[in-house]
Structure 1
Amino acid sequence: MKKRLTAFLIVFAMVLSLTACSDDSGVTSTHKNSGLDTSLARSTDMKVSSSGDLEIQRLSRTETKKMGASGTWTIFVYMCGSDLESESGLATMDLQEMIDSTQSDKIKFVVQTGGANAWDNDLVDDSLTQRFVIENQNMEQIEEADVTNMGSAETLAEFLDWGVSAYPAEKMGLVFWNHGGGSITGVCFDEQNESDSLSLLEVENALTSVYPKMTDAFEFIGFDACLMGTVETGNMLAPHARYMVASEELEPGYGWDYTAMGNFIGGNPAASGAELGKVVVDSFYDACVAIDSQNEATLSCIDLSKIDELVYAFNDVAREMYSATTKTEVLSNMVKGITSAENYGGNSKSEGYTNMVDLGSVLKNMTGNIAGTDQALAALADCVVYMKNGSDKADSHGLAIYYPLAIQGSEELSIFKDICVSPYYMSFVDKMAYGSDTNGDFGSYSDTDWFGENSLYWSGSYDEAGGSAYWSELDQEPTEVYNFSEDESSVSFSSAPAINANGMYGFTISADTLDYVDAVYCDVFLDAGDGETLIELGLDDNITADWNTGKFEDNFSGYWVSLPDGQPLATYIVEQGENYNIYTSPVMLNGVETNLRIKIDFAGDGNYTITIIGAWDGIDEVTGQSAKEITKLKKGDLITPMYYSYSMKTDEEGTYEGESYTFNNDPVIYEEPLAVGDYYYSFQIDDIFGSSLYTDFEIFSVDANGDIYFNQ
């Protein structure tokens, strides 16, 4: 690749000045708009009419006119290289695929590069923002300027303004190439600008600014990035493209196959975005199969002309959801349906939270409790032209939606209010967040923020102070990590947590609050031996639960998932499937912090297999950027277990590091008996409002015979 691009540079490079491409905003926060004036009219407006119905108004053309010669394609690629390029050279690999695929004169790729600290070829310069045209198997530099922020709406808008004017075609596509973080944190995280990213509102701003320069919509807009296959994304793009191609989950492997894309267009220049989308999905999935990463893969092609019907149908469901908040049993079943739905990108203590859940899975799980779900499911299926998903994502339906599995503060909700597809759903999410602050007491809740004359819904502002009055309370961290008092929770006990006559640790939830319980886990800690520090071994669902009576007891066997050298791994549940559980475990891999993804397959006969899937860096807690893929381990990799630790004196949280283990290339591991010593056991009780109650610790001991018993 280096030699080939160097040759192109010598023979074909034509350097011009790149005008008006600087970002003077000075805003680098991942969640802030920058550059364009976001007070400008949006391409979509949504509100509730006086009769309570949803009204959607979108930019539209009275007539469309093709912008280029018949049978021609231009695909614009907004390539924010980031660490995917600077550490792995993945952008360079895809540039080569584009070069190889342009044998036909019917297709060209127009690429803007930036956002990476280094590039793995001799043509792209990390100190510049550059524009290239790839056609006839040549890559030619067209323009360059000082480096700009690829996470700025202004930078994107100027690229599109220039591109559609200079390289129009009968059919045009736009691809965002980089990391994705889902509906809240967006796409294209620029590592040269503090990982600033394009929010969905910024993407909309940029597309709206170029709309008057176009006489036709993009044939497709795609995201070669993780987690961007969401209904919020599709709703934003609806005025601007016919189709969307995006993944609900992480993108394993090397992302899209641009050779397959270009070759297909070259042989089928009259193809539609739907036909091209099928090729993109199939070739992506085939590439995942080739590296054995297909189990967690998802990719969908969405017909954006069908988004309105989906949004209308979902809004009808959301109205019922909001009304159901007054009926505790229905609300409980509904929230359990959401929290048990297929979710994407981790959503655990160790890996962080994207709060992205599968829309179809949510609707399916609420069928029977909430009216209108069948119609919404049908509308969703009508939107999805084509999709593929792996066995570990079997309940995927093509589009995800935001739901705060873990509320992460006022800024997240403030962003969501401007992209949420339904005011009733916004009011539902807001009311549940309110419930997390009031332990489920909705008595003083007001929905005027979403339905009044001065509604904040779809307001286009990221003013964190502009949300509901209680939002600021969500930014306050609790002063204690464990032993929250019962009166600070929506849950109460008819039989308090205690050791019973059979030596089992358990409790019974009172009948009047059982509906508030979403899940119960056991939390196990190792005594570090200093009299005050506990080392957490993680959360598990291995308990005895009777959801009819509210009685829960430990079912602990004294075994824990461990490395072959006997060290227990700190494990946290990521996903509970029908015949499997997926866990994550914080580790150092070759000296770098990451997480092991671990899968337990249940055979149904009492046997099970535990396998290390690979390593995933998770969600950056500051920027919201998702790591691109789960990396397979290699023989000789050094795995060092990491654990969260807690001081019983100060409640301070820290980390504890185990011993390094050399991976022997066998991904199968086992549950091993815990070492002789004292351990602390607690229950974590999650309520339907997203809060957790922790029971008091009970100490159990493991003796030299491997027997375990609670100390009474």
Structure 2
Amino acid sequence: MGRPLSHEREVTGTGRRVLGRGSFTGGSGGNRNSSGRGGGGSPFSILIVIIIAIISVVTGKGNILSSLLGGSSGSSNTSVNTQSQQVNVPNLISTFGSAAASSISGVSTAWSGVEDNRGKLDKTVNENARDKFYRPTGGDSVTVMVYMCGTDLESKHGMATNDLVEMTKANIADNVNLIVCTGGANSWKNSVISSSINQIYQVKGGNLLKLADDNQNLSMTDTNTLIRFIEYCKQNFSANRYQLIFWDHGGGSVTGYGYDEKNPRSGSMNLSQIKSAIAATDIKYDFIGFDACLMATTETALALSDYADYLIASEETEPGTGWYYTNWLSDLSNNTAISTLDLGKKIVDDFIDESSRSARGQSTTLSLVDLAELRATMPNSLSSFARDTASYIENNEYSRVSYARTASREFAKSSNIDQVDLVSLIYNLEQDKNNPTIQSVLGAVKYNRTSSNMANSYGLSIYFPYKKLSKVDRMVQTYGDIGMDSEYTRMIQQFASVQASGQIVGGGETTPANILTGGTSGNSAGSLSAADIDSMIANLISGSISAESLSSIGLDFSNIGFLQNRSISDDAIKDYVVNNRLDASKLKWRDISSEPKIHLSEEEWNMVSSIEESMLLDQGNGYIDMGLDNFFKFDENGDMLADTQRAWIAIDQQPVAYYHLSTTQNGDEVTTIGRVPVILNGDRANLIIIFDKEHPKGYIAGANTDYSAIETETIAKNITEIVPGDRIQFIYTYYGYDGTYLDNYTIDEEYVVGNSIPKVSYLIVQDDNEITYKFTDIYNNSYWTPTLKSK
């Protein structure tokens, strides 16, 4: 494996606990704001310290691959004086391969295995692809339809208005019809658009000209509203070149498009509904674009491949600025026969470049996908990949698939939407860059760009269940509706069935509540007999399990259909889980008086996919939980050491609950991104914290809205800039001494942002606290070690 390197982290001071008066914000976080006074930019009155860590332990060819990551928050420039060691990521790559290195270290290494495809315009045409719908005539007329559901992006931040202004600044030619349908927002940040009804506008001569009021005022996520808009454009602005852009939130393959703020209960428009609406209008599009988050998925592309030549969309969440409209609309007006490849490149380049200026630090992606080519090359290769993956699961290699899934580039990671980059997933599983499905994606993605802090994002993601098994049945239904490959459908049901079986036996826990009272984590799965496991899995698969037991793994009787639609046998599942399980009783500390450590055998490490360390502060009436970070330590024998320094991230000297999201190594540059839950100006949000080469001590890049208490599963565009006058209350999870989750906790005194952005730093605190490590196994069960009290 190579000699590990020591890990260093910079700490700026030591704090002492001074607890101020606090309030509860409601179990779900809610949108309620605690009463309090303006803080004038001064630090909060609570000072806490925690150390939290993440490690991924991956096995390859029977070897234990447990190691130390050089990428905690601000990892490249921070310092801890310990005898601990760290595995150098490049050494890992050369020894075990990129997939192992990624999963072991928690670092997404840059474009490993498959060549970086960013910034390379591919004008080749696959010989098997159908002819394009749009064919230049020399005298082209173009109708660009923008379906703009303003929602809270507009009512709170004016993002739709900003994009409309960009449109009015374009030099729109007479033969270019730029038509915009508006609605879905409680208010608009301009004096033109009505919030009471849906309307249709034309952008012409630098102005917004109202064409029609839609007095039915249907939800913008109702397919009838979309159909009415498209039909209006078809009848009144007939053209030989059509383009359709969806503007709003996006939720990817499971959730689809849109959140209507005026009609929150209407839900989103899923892929099946989008496909049926577009099919009903009988228009073939030059491109269909999503100025929305997470819609560059394999499922989206295949669903729309019969109706458009190209898809333009993002794998990752978009910044609030969204697409930049002025330049590409002007280019289209200057030459209405411009190739879609050149036009799409302009859209992608302007989006990435503008985002880097106005949304500093935001992880951004945008790709241009040839749907005609994807339709010709993807279905057969995807079927083959799905069959191969299913065979691994059937032949006692579920862990191989699980490790590949967890090591792959994941999008909107904290939202648990279960979307990963398709090329990254396949390469991690097969280690073959010439895999036909990889080549299909690379051939169909004609242009792809990402921000510099993204790696292994090749242009198309795919749904692969792991975080939320409750969504599998919904996705299976969508797959049937859009004509997705049946082999892939069966494979994910098979994977989910093994995972659910491992979870029902594992009895893991999502919080450290039981540990706080001196109990043990889970049901100590290693002590279960084969007969016990056989009975538990049989009850799950047959549906004779109790509702309470199903609820413990996030399922109910309405969403376990996947257990009945799989090719793997009951006996095969039972045998695998019996022989591949983590015994939580082994998670005990040794050498507590000198240097606490946890020792596991090679076989036991094989069952671990990640480790996170958390400290809980003794507040006097209970414990405050401070989140999860990715700093961790191992000794030369491969034993995990307890961290003794106990430093934690603070904002203007106020330690905050921090949750690590991702770490990406690109050459010698390491970028780490995390979130801090807050109430921002009265609404639930997350501050985005970034550590990179230019900002080794970290900085606040902005904030994004947290929709956990709002009736939508779509993901907000982000990041919103933090500006002077913003009111912030940091949120912490709070437990009683009996281990009961009490509430989310905030301090009454608000932090009011002054003329400078608050500073990020590390502090050490020597107050009463307890550390516990969260071990996650290959089935996504979580177990907690006994706590270690501060000395």
Deviation at 1:78, TM superposition (A): 0.9
**Equivalent residues of 2:393, 2:401 under 8 A apart:** no
Name the residue aligned to 1:683.
773
Mapped to 1, the partners of 2:340 and 2:742 lie a distance apart of 51
Name the residue aligned to 2:329.
262
Distance 1:685 1:65, change over 3 A: closer
Name the residue aligned to 1:563.
651
- Cα RMSD of the aligned pairs, angstroms, is 3.4
Name the residue aligned to 2:199.
130
Mapped to 2, the partners of 1:361 and 1:182 lie a distance apart of 18
* Residue 739 of structure 2 corresponds to residue 640 of structure 1: no
Deviation at 1:398, TM superposition (A): 0.8
Deviations 1:210-231 (A, max 9, x none): 12xx4xx200000111111111
Deviation at 1:188, TM superposition (A): 2.0
Instruction: Count the aligned residue pairs.
Output: 595
**Equivalent residues of 1:522, 1:684 under 8 A apart:** yes
Deviation at 1:668, TM superposition (A): 4.2
Q: What amino acid is the match of 1:430? A: Q
Mapped to 1, the partners of 2:581 and 2:209 lie a distance apart of 63
Name the residue aligned to 2:390.
322
Name the residue aligned to 1:542.
631
* Residue 497 of structure 2 corresponds to residue 434 of structure 1: yes
Name the residue aligned to 1:205.
276
What are the ranges of 5 or more consecutive residues in structure 1 without an aligned counterpart?
1-59, 450-462, 472-485, 702-708
Deviation at 1:279, TM superposition (A): 1.1
Distance 1:313 1:244, change over 3 A: same
Name the residue aligned to 2:422.
359
Deviation at 1:623, TM superposition (A): 1.3
Q: What amino acid is the match of 1:235? A: L
1:152-171 paired onto structure 2 within 5 Å: 152-171=222-241
Deviations 1:69-88 (A, max 9, x none): 93111011111111122222
Deviation at 1:438, TM superposition (A): 1.8
TM-score (norm 2): 0.69
Mapped to 2, the partners of 1:465 and 1:673 lie a distance apart of 46
Name the residue aligned to 1:96.
165
Name the residue aligned to 1:10.
none
Deviation at 1:95, TM superposition (A): 2.5
Q: What amino acid is the match of 2:417? A: T
Deviations 1:487-507 (A, max 9, x none): 999311584412425534443
1:612-651 paired onto structure 2 within 5 Å: 612-620=700-708, 622-649=711-738, 651=740
Mapped to 1, the partners of 2:613 and 2:273 lie a distance apart of 42
Name the residue aligned to 1:384.
445
**Equivalent residues of 2:417, 2:468 under 8 A apart:** no
SS class of match (1:544): coil
Mapped to 1, the partners of 2:489 and 2:594 lie a distance apart of 47
* Residue 634 of structure 2 corresponds to residue 575 of structure 1: no
Distance 1:294 1:220, change over 3 A: farther
Distance 1:126 1:512, change over 3 A: same
Distance 1:129 1:634, change over 3 A: closer
1:152-301 paired onto structure 2 within 5 Å: 152-194=222-264, 196-211=267-282, 214=283, 217-293=284-360, 295-301=362-368
Distance 1:653 1:691, change over 3 A: farther
Q: What amino acid is the match of 1:250? A: T
Name the residue aligned to 1:599.
690
Structure 1 range deviating more: 304-313 or 418-427 = 418-427
Mapped to 1, the partners of 2:262 and 2:235 lie a distance apart of 28
1:400-419 paired onto structure 2 within 5 Å: 400-407=461-468, 409-410=470-471, 412-413=474-475, 417-418=479-480
Mapped to 1, the partners of 2:417 and 2:399 lie a distance apart of 22
Name the residue aligned to 1:78.
147
SS class of match (2:626): strand
* Residue 673 of structure 2 corresponds to residue 673 of structure 1: no
Structure that is richer in strand per residue: 1
Distance 1:504 1:322, change over 3 A: farther
Deviations 1:389-416 (A, max 9, x none): 0122122111111223411625654555
Mapped to 1, the partners of 2:158 and 2:496 lie a distance apart of 42
**Equivalent residues of 1:231, 1:421 under 8 A apart:** no
Q: 1:424 aligns with which of 487, 495, 504?
A: 487
Mapped to 1, the partners of 2:762 and 2:578 lie a distance apart of 37
Name the residue aligned to 2:750.
660
Q: 2:619 aligns with which of 497, 522, 528?
A: 528
Mapped to 2, the partners of 1:552 and 1:536 lie a distance apart of 22
Deviations 1:276-327 (A, max 9, x none): 1111111112221332536511111111112231343233222211111145
**Equivalent residues of 2:678, 2:685 under 8 A apart:** yes
Deviations 1:57-80 (A, max 9, x none): xxx999969799931110111111
Name the residue aligned to 2:41.
none
Deviation at 1:646, TM superposition (A): 2.0
Structure 1 range deviating more: 499-508 or 180-189 = 499-508
**Equivalent residues of 2:272, 2:478 under 8 A apart:** no
Distance 1:601 1:425, change over 3 A: same
SS class of match (2:611): strand
Distance 1:294 1:608, change over 3 A: closer
Deviation at 1:559, TM superposition (A): 0.8
SS class of match (2:295): coil
SS class of match (1:188): coil
Q: What amino acid is the match of 1:503? A: S
Mapped to 1, the partners of 2:671 and 2:760 lie a distance apart of 15
Mapped to 2, the partners of 1:161 and 1:466 lie a distance apart of 40
Q: 2:561 aligns with which of 459, 467, 491?
A: 467
SS class of match (1:543): coil
1:17-28 paired onto structure 2 within 5 Å: none
**Equivalent residues of 1:131, 1:141 under 8 A apart:** yes
Q: What amino acid is the match of 1:141? A: K
Q: What amino acid is the match of 1:166? A: N
SS class of match (1:190): coil
Q: What amino acid is the match of 1:568? A: P
Deviation at 1:642, TM superposition (A): 1.0
SS class of match (2:589): strand
Name the residue aligned to 2:105.
none
Mapped to 1, the partners of 2:730 and 2:132 lie a distance apart of 61
Mapped to 2, the partners of 1:134 and 1:445 lie a distance apart of 62
Q: What amino acid is the match of 1:72? A: S
**Equivalent residues of 2:133, 2:285 under 8 A apart:** no
TM-score (norm 1): 0.76
**Equivalent residues of 1:431, 1:445 under 8 A apart:** no
**Equivalent residues of 1:599, 1:612 under 8 A apart:** yes
**Equivalent residues of 1:432, 1:689 under 8 A apart:** no
Deviation at 1:467, TM superposition (A): 2.3
Mapped to 1, the partners of 2:586 and 2:227 lie a distance apart of 61
**Equivalent residues of 2:398, 2:495 under 8 A apart:** no
Distance 1:557 1:125, change over 3 A: same
SS class of match (2:185): coil
Structure 1 range deviating more: 499-508 or 665-674 = 499-508
Name the residue aligned to 1:397.
458
Deviations 1:367-398 (A, max 9, x none): 33xx7863222211111111210122122111
Deviation at 1:552, TM superposition (A): 2.7
Of the two structures, which has the highest relative contact order with CA contacts closer than 8 Å and spacing of 6 or more?
A: 2
